[in-house]
Every structure is written in structure tokens, then in C-alpha cells.
A and B are shown apart, each in its own frame.
Chain A
Amino acid sequence: MHVNNSISNLPKQHFVSRMQEGEFVFGGEIEYSTSLDLQTYRNQANFLKSHTSVLAIPDNPGSNIFLSNIAIAQVIQSLYPYDLVLSISCRDTNRLGLATRLITAYSLGFRNLLLVTGDHPSLGSVPSSKPVFDLDSTQLLHLCHEFNQSGTLFGNYFEKSQGIDYKLCQNADSDQDFCIIPPRLVVGTVINPQNSLPEIEMARFQRKKTEGIDFIQTQVIFQAEAVIPLLKEFHHEKIPIMAGIVPLNNYSLAKKISNFLPGVKFPKSLLQAYKIASQNSDNSKNKAKMFDKINTNYYSPLITELKHKNLIQGLYFATIDYPIIIPALIRSILNG
């Protein structure tokens, strides 16, 4: 079967090309809130464009009700001059709905897609929802592959635009041109390098790989020794990998999300450090400093080690109400 992981047809400014060329790419993630004010998302894009060159926009993360990620991408497109990566989850719509979302995203120029199966609705804010899962992520990969190869979705032909396949937009802060629209769908998948059953993780990946993968994102990672063996295996696949981390500044939140991370255990030592920081500092300024220090001391050596071993080609920050740690961590990683 054909594998579409060649980068020949991706522009050199595209984040996958940059990772292939040896650049270490930093990415951010849009944080959803209950606010329906679009300014919330514009502010995030404005902040993140100074520090990151890839921006992920998840699709109803954690099975909660949020604004549509295609709409948010459209709102922030002109503010964020780099690559946007939209997640598409199989949880909420059947294959008809998923195909509609694929061509909508394609037409609007959002062609970097992270295809995920999605969290089960019973874990989210509307636990009584019907879990759709008409397709799974592998079948959605297969559909994207079909679209890239023949322009069809389940055999239905769609005319692609005859115009310029990607457009350049000028970044206000520099003279450089940035390519924001690749000529085809660029698809990514999620792996869990901490999987306690590495053989099964690899077998699952092999199945996905035959459907064509351009880039890989990892589940949030915590410990070098836990992820290195599997990352070494994935290294042979020559597909760029972005690792994810979740720095936190709040002990109760850490405790809460430690139960909600899919397939990953939150390390006790880090949880303990957060606990001590939240109990010992009396004023909020000291507390913030302590959390910053814990996160930098914890994540910086971890990422630096993986980066030096060339096991990861990029890093994305899945921050929760804590974007301010991003520049500090980037500085520390680049100096490491």
C-alpha cells in the first residue's frame, strides 16, 4: 500500500518540512473556555504567535461542549501566521459528518489534521450522549488518504480548486513570507510512548502507517526512561514526532487531571512537588515562582535529553490556564 509520508509536495515553511530538515519546532494548543467571546481565542493566538510556530486546535477535548474548532481556526487564521493543526475526532459525527468536516477544513485552507478517535462521551460533560464512533481514527486516515490520492470521499468525487494550492501571508512583524496552506491534507496521528504494552502500541501504529501518516503527536509525556524505548522504535519510521507536555500551576488541578489522562500515569514525585508548592508558599507571587521553577526543573532536562538524542523533532505545550510558562520553558530548553 502507498504511504504518503513523503514531504516532496509540502512547502519548505510547513512545520512537517521544517521538522524533517532538523529544526526543533515548538507548538501551542488553543485552550477552550466557556466564554463565547471570540476575543478569548484571538488573545491566545496573539500570545502564542510570539513563541510557537504550530498551533493545535482540539475538537471538543475531553468530550465537553466547546465552539467548533473550524470556526475558531477561521477566526484566528489572520492573526497566527504559521501552521494551524485541527483535530478531527470520530466521537461526535458519523462518516457523513466527518467527510463534510474534511472538505470544509480543506476548502478553508486548514489542511493539517490530527485524526483522533476521541474520548468516550461518558467521561465528559454530557455523559448521556450517544458515542458515535462510526469510523475510528485508522478508517478516518484511510478516508484522508483516499481524498489525497483521488479527490474522492467514499467514492464521491469532489473538484478541488484550480487556483494556487497554497497561499502566502505576510507576517506583520517581519518581512518573511509564511506558507499557511499545504497543497493536500497533511495528516497526523497520536501515539502513547508510555504505553505499558509497547508491542501492541507498535502493532497499532503499523496498521495506521499503511494508511499514510505525515506527523506524529505523543500523548503528554512525563519520564524519559518510560518513553525512550518506544520513541527509539518510532525513530526508525522517519516520521517527525512532536512530544506533548502539560505543565501545571495548581495542585488541585494536577490531582484532578491525574485521573483523566488517557493511558498515562501522572508521576507521584511531580504531584508531590506541586503539593508542597501549594502548601508552603504564603503569597501568590512566591507560589507562581515556585510552580514555574518546578516545571522548568522537571520538563527542561526531560525534553533536552529527548531532543539531543533526536528522538523528538518538536514539542507542544498543552497548558491549562498557564501560558506564561511557555517562553520560560522554551528558553530553558534552547539553552539546555
Chain B
Amino acid sequence: MDLNQNGCTICSEGFKKETKGICPFVQCPKSMLNGPCSDMLNGKCRIGGYQNECIWVQIYYRFAEQNRKKDFSSYCPPLDWRHIYPRGAE
């Protein structure tokens, strides 16, 4: 599934709108909604031995490109699991 092209059907939370087209829920190893965590060095993720890009650093740069750095620091509440197939009730 190309999350960046067609929009995500996994949840209805619309992170991608908030995070400028990058889904931290799927792409961050810790599924962090308020990243990055401390496991980041030079923009790389510690999980997998600093080989992969930290997705939250990518999100930050995307905010920066759009001159919306301030919005990066807004708080994202926890995910509502009722909306998530197949575990949710709805």
C-alpha cells in the first residue's frame, strides 16, 4: 500500500494530514505520535542500527519546508483503537 499516494485506510485518524503525508503510526518502529524519541542520532533511527531515516525528523523537515515549524510542537492525542480494523469494535 502506498500510504503517500492514496491515503491510508488503516485508521480514520488522519495523521498524514497532520504530519504532511508521512504516517508515523506505520513508519515509526514505536508508532510514536509525538516524536521523535531519544533513539535518534544524526537523523537516523537506532532500531536497525542507525541505517534508516528517523521518520519524525523527516516530518520536521516537511513542516520546516512549509514554514510551519511551530505546528510541529502541537500535541497529538492517543489513537482510538475502536477505529482500527480488525481489533476494534466498530
Binding site for B on A (CB under 8 A): 95, 117, 119-120, 122-123, 131, 133-139, 142, 190-192, 195-197, 199-200, 203-204, 206-208, 210-211, 219, 262-265
Contact = CB atoms under 8 A, between A and B. Distances in A.
Contacts of A219: 38
Contact of A203 (B31, B43, B47, B69): B69
Given A136-B32, A207-B73, A265-B41, 12 more contacts: A123-B47, A131-B30, A133-B31, A135-B78, A139-B33, A142-B77, A196-B42, A197-B43, A203-B72, A219-B38, A262-B39, A263-B40
B30 A133 contact: yes
A211 B31 contact: no
Contacts of B35: 136, 204
Given A203-B69, A203-B73, A138 B38 contact: no
Contacts of B29: 120, 122, 131
A139 B31 contact: no
B37 interface: yes
A117 B37 contact: yes
20 contacts: A117-B37, A117-B38, A120-B29, A120-B39, A133-B31, A133-B32, A136-B32, A136-B34, A139-B78, A204-B34, A206-B73, A207-B34, A207-B73, A211-B75, A262-B38, A262-B39, A262-B46, A263-B39, A263-B41, A265-B41
A139 B23 CA distance: 18
Contact of B32 (A117, A190, A196): A117
Interface residues of B, number: 28
A200 B60 contact: yes
A139 B74 contact: no
Contacts of B38: 117, 190-192, 219, 262-263
Nearest 5 pairs between A and B by C-beta?
A138-B34, A207-B73, A206-B73, A133-B30, A136-B32
A119 B72 CA distance: 23
Interface of B: 29-43, 46-47, 56-57, 60, 69, 72-78
A136 B36 contact: no
B10 to A, nearest CB: 16
Contacts of A210: 73, 75
Nearest to A209: B73
B57 A200 contact: yes
A210 to B, nearest CB: 7
B36 A200 contact: yes
Contacts of B34: 136-139, 204, 207-208
Nearest to B40: A263
Contact of B78 (A95, A117, A208): A95
A144 to B, nearest CB: 14
Contacts of B31: 131, 133
Contacts of A131: 29-31
Highest count of chain A CB atoms <10 Å: which of B34, B46, B75: B34
Contacts of B57: 197, 200
B1 to A, nearest CB: 21
Highest count of chain B CB atoms <10 Å: which of A131, A203, A262, A265: A203
B41 A138 contact: no
A203 to B, nearest CB: 5
Contacts of A204: 34-36, 73
